[in-house]
Chains A and B, each alone.
Chain A
Amino acid sequence: MNDRSIAVGRALPAWGGLARLVLFFTQPVNLVFAGIAAIIAFLALYPSFFLLYGSLTDAPLGVPGHFTLRNYVQAYTDPTAYRLILTSFLFGIGASALSVFLALTLAWITIRTNAPYRRLFELTAIVPNILPPILISISWVLLLNPSNGLINVILVRLFGLTTAPFNIYSLPGLIFVEGLILTPLAFLIISAALKSMDPSLEESAKTLGSGEMGVATRITFPLMRPAILAAGTLNFVRAVESFDTPAIIALPARIEVFTTKIWREALGSFPTNHNLAAAYGVGILIIALLFVYLYRKFTSQIESFSTVTGKGFRPHQIDLGGWRYLASGVALSLLTMMVILPILLLMLVSILPYYHVPTWQTWQNLTLSNFHFALENQRVFRAFGNSIFLAVGGATLCMGIAALTAYLTIRTKIAARGLLEGLVFIPWAFPGTALALGLLWAYVDFPIPIYGTIWIIMIAYVTRFLPYGLRAVTSTIIQIHKELEEASTVCGAGFFATFRRILVPMMRPGIMAGWIILATTFMREFSATLFLYSPGSEALGPLLYFLYLDGMRGRVAAIGLIISLISVILIAIAQRLSRWDKR
């Protein structure tokens, strides 16, 4: 063997690698994977790099510092941290379980039964996702506080009780309110999956003699496992990282959770210790990634959840007979807790000069001045315009990326596809204000001048909230059987044609559910927006925040109600577009 052939022999593996790479990129699906991976990696890693760097240095961002592990030592060597993590865990599990239970009940009644007014209930169930969580917490404090909570006052007077029957300032109170806040997200994910479900298995069970309830408990709910787990996972992490509800309800009850500690030592310290906040964020990131892993493990046998096949179908609707009125009654009572009571309270707050338990005198002092402010103020108009643009544009962009990501992570066998899903969750794990600082640092000196414009907020939303969209669409793509794609491929359609003509229409309920979750969240988001908006790009979230900061609850309630109205219109349009029985 001469030298030349030896050299060629050595070069061959390298050429082989290159050839494999060239071959990899000739496949359209691989090209899309590379493109999406590049976008997600950039969005997630670029700002997170600054935060991770911050967690390992002893100086604020922008100031030269020294490498240190002190932030991690401070965050995780305090034994109280673990006690508080346990409290947060109980709180997270409780709130998440309650939200999934309520969502499942409501989704089953509104999607799968013939209960009267089910369409109205379906629309109403999403409303709490529109209202800033802080407003819902305040509403429940005004309804159930032991001193003069409206419900307590009424019950005490009605039944001549000596003490108030309910105390919102307790762990059950905290779980109850957070559970109600989280229900719409679970409802959207679960109802999207219910809409996509082929009834053949249910019908087989019925043929074999199972009753309606038996079908529901033995067939329908087990098949819903991916959606239930998706909703439960998201809501658990949301509850664990939430600060607003614990600040309003847990603090007066002297219940401490993990976020209270993060606030005291990092975000609420003076000056704010973003380095420590980032170190805490890494802990939440590990929890979030653990849940992503568990979710993937529990849903790995995806074929068993594939109920949408090549056969035409209409989801099975259960005739409840006379029981349908009871089902409507159950849905109505759940929605009374979730929507009607808080909205009524907000209406009261919006027309009172200052909030107090109403007396006969109250009715003479009602005012519409808060609505006049909302409808006549230029700043409010501008904020509405900005928020609608961010909600519609941001949610659409996010769902486009989420749909492709879901396809690539669930349907393909490309190596590192699981990593793509993990990447999505990285920015989500950091506290909103800490992430905003990372984004500020990432984009303040970016070659394309987006800092100080509305586009930085759009990027922040896509970066932070992509997991919501991904979860919503993933749980429906799992249900779609591969035979549909295979049929399309056999007929000669390429990747793009199959994705556009087969998968997108089948995933439509999931895509629309994710779109609604995102659009309604973007309409009132403030923790990331607050730090990044410039006076010209002020959105509704910061506007509500500073009105709240200035003690103007009436104006916050009035604007909150108008946001709800606009969002309900947006949702109704979106639902009409996604309804299976109208197509």
Chain B
Amino acid sequence: MKRTLNSIIGLLVVAVFAAGTASGQNPALVDAAKKEGGKVVIYGSLESDSMDAVNKVFQKKTGIQVEYWRASATKVMDRALSEYRAGKPGFDIILTNDNPMQLMLKEGIFAKYDSPSAKEFPKDAIDPNLGPRYRNVIIGVLYNKSQISPADAPKSLEDLVNPKYKGKLVMPDPTQHTTTTQWVASLHKLMGKEKADKYVRDLAAMKPILVESLLPAAERVSTGETPIAITYVKYAFIFGKKGAPLDHVRLPKMMGDGHYLTLGNKAQHPNAGKAFIDFFLGAESMKMIAQLGEFVNRKGVYPPLPDADKIQFVEMVDLDKKGFAEKKKEYTEIFLK
């Protein structure tokens, strides 16, 4: 009887441990996190629906509460750096895109943590300091299928400067929207410097309708106000899911930005932070985020967007403060004069 009981207890311990590791969780870390107060504070720019879906499962599995402060990447950086410099960092984890993450890294606000979940990411998607680039936000060309048939739609970036599309293109203002400044400045990675320089001038000569950011560009295509947009490819899925007649141009290569999540070196809940990072980079969480339209980097996980697995991702160049200022000035001359 005693042996049977011991076997059952042994099996239960193994089962609990297996369940823990399958979801990317280290039970010891979770216990330590609960002793710290059982919560983790995250400042980030990941869309709230994606974050809510992940948090719900994480909280259910670990009992650790997630407090998420959502803002744009620049605001996340501004607040994190201001609090850190004042000696009162309120965050345990920062979760945002490459450029601000690199800047915050230079300011020395992060701790290095090698999550066991990182091994499921391609080696070229792992930054030695920030960890895995968990998702890419990819900029491409979207069009409204009820206004332009797939046969008449542009087939390449070069097609966008065809006079027949004049007045039909919307894009974020590269003199104002930082990611678009970066995208235009990175075009040489797709077409070489000489061709890219000419292309930027040709694109400006098309007098595209300029908007505030990538979302209003996609919204204008979904409402039918403008038929073609340079914007995030994921919006084809996000708006398409609601019924908007959107498709993306199958460009051979597309540029975008990588996103990371990293532990703060003055985190008040470091163990909860580590437990969250383990879970977030795990298979279950990455699949949930991909199902909501994100291009995650975990091997073999794709968003439910046609030909998503065929997209070749090219990371945009990093610009520093001076680089951004120079490019914005240059594009003001080209796009606004």
Contact = CB atoms under 8 A, between A and B. Distances in A.
Interface string A504-536: 000000000000000000000000001101111
B243 A353 contact: yes
Interface string A224-252: 00000000000000000000000110011
Nearest to B320: A270
Contact of A444 (B83, B238, B239): B83
Contacts of B223: 142, 148, 354-357
A431 B235 CA distance: 31
Interface string A340-360: 000000000000011111000
Interface string B307-337: 0000000000001010011001000100010
A332 B239 CA distance: 37
B51 to A, nearest CB: 10
B215 interface: yes
Interface stretch (A297-305, A308-316, A545-553): A545-553
Nearest to A550: B47
B229 to A, nearest CB: 13
Interface residues of B, number: 57
Nearest to A451: B88
A361 to B, nearest CB: 10
A317 interface: no
A550 B224 contact: no
A191 interface: no
Contact of B78 (A147, A247, A437): A437
A364 to B, nearest CB: 11
A60 B81 contact: yes
A206 interface: no
Most chain A CB neighbours (cut-off 10 Å) among B216, B238, B244, B325? B216
A263 B332 CA distance: 13
B232 to A, nearest CB: 10
Contacts of A269: 178, 321, 324-325, 328
Given A60-B81, A256-B336, A547 B48 contact: yes
B67 interface: yes
B219 interface: yes
Range of interface residues on A (Cβ < 8 Å): 35 or more
A254 B337 CA distance: 10
Contacts of B166: none
Given A61-B85, A148-B224, A264-B328, A546 B243 contact: no
A16 interface: no
A260 interface: yes
A516 B242 CA distance: 38
Nearest to A353: B242
B215 A271 contact: no
B244 A271 contact: no
A365 interface: yes
B99 interface: yes
B294 to A, nearest CB: 12
Given A62-B85, A254-B336, A271-B77, A551 B238 contact: yes
Contacts of A581: none
B127 interface: no
B215 A268 contact: no
A365 B241 CA distance: 13
A251 B212 contact: yes
Interface in B207-259: 209-212, 215-216, 218-219, 222-226, 235, 238-239, 242-244
A452 interface: yes
Given A354-B242, A356-B222, A536-B67, A270 B74 contact: yes
A272 interface: yes
Contacts of B178: 268-270
Given A142-B223, A546-B48, A553-B219, A445 B72 contact: no
Interface string B28-67: 0000000000000100000111000000000000000001
A145 interface: yes
A355 B222 contact: yes
A420 interface: no
B189 interface: no
Given A260-B176, A354-B239, A440-B79, A546 B70 contact: yes
Given A355-B222, A437-B82, A530 B71 contact: yes
B81 to A, nearest CB: 7
Given A357-B224, A546-B48, A531 B75 contact: yes
Contacts of B100: 270-271
A147 B67 CA distance: 43
Nearest to A554: B242
B14 interface: no
B192 interface: no
B87 to A, nearest CB: 7
A21 interface: no
Interface of A: 60-63, 141-142, 145, 147-148, 247-248, 251-252, 254, 256, 260, 263-265, 268-272, 274, 353-357, 365, 433, 437, 440-441, 444-445, 451-452, 530-531, 533-536, 546-547, 549-553
Given A269-B325, A444-B88, A445-B87, 17 more contacts: A62-B86, A252-B209, A252-B210, A264-B176, A268-B178, A269-B324, A270-B100, A272-B78, A353-B243, A355-B223, A437-B82, A440-B79, A452-B90, A531-B79, A535-B67, A547-B48, A551-B238
Interface of B: 41, 47-49, 67-72, 74-75, 77-79, 81-83, 85-88, 90, 99-100, 103, 173, 175-178, 209-212, 215-216, 218-219, 222-226, 235, 238-239, 242-244, 319, 321, 324-325, 328, 332, 336
The 9 closest A-B pairs by CB, nearest first: A62-B85, A535-B67, A354-B242, A353-B242, A444-B86, A550-B47, A354-B244, A270-B178, A546-B70
30 contacts: A60-B81, A62-B86, A142-B223, A147-B225, A147-B226, A148-B224, A148-B225, A247-B212, A252-B210, A252-B211, A264-B176, A265-B328, A268-B176, A270-B74, A272-B74, A354-B222, A354-B223, A355-B223, A356-B222, A356-B223, A365-B243, A437-B82, A441-B82, A445-B87, A531-B75, A531-B78, A534-B90, A535-B41, A551-B235, A552-B49
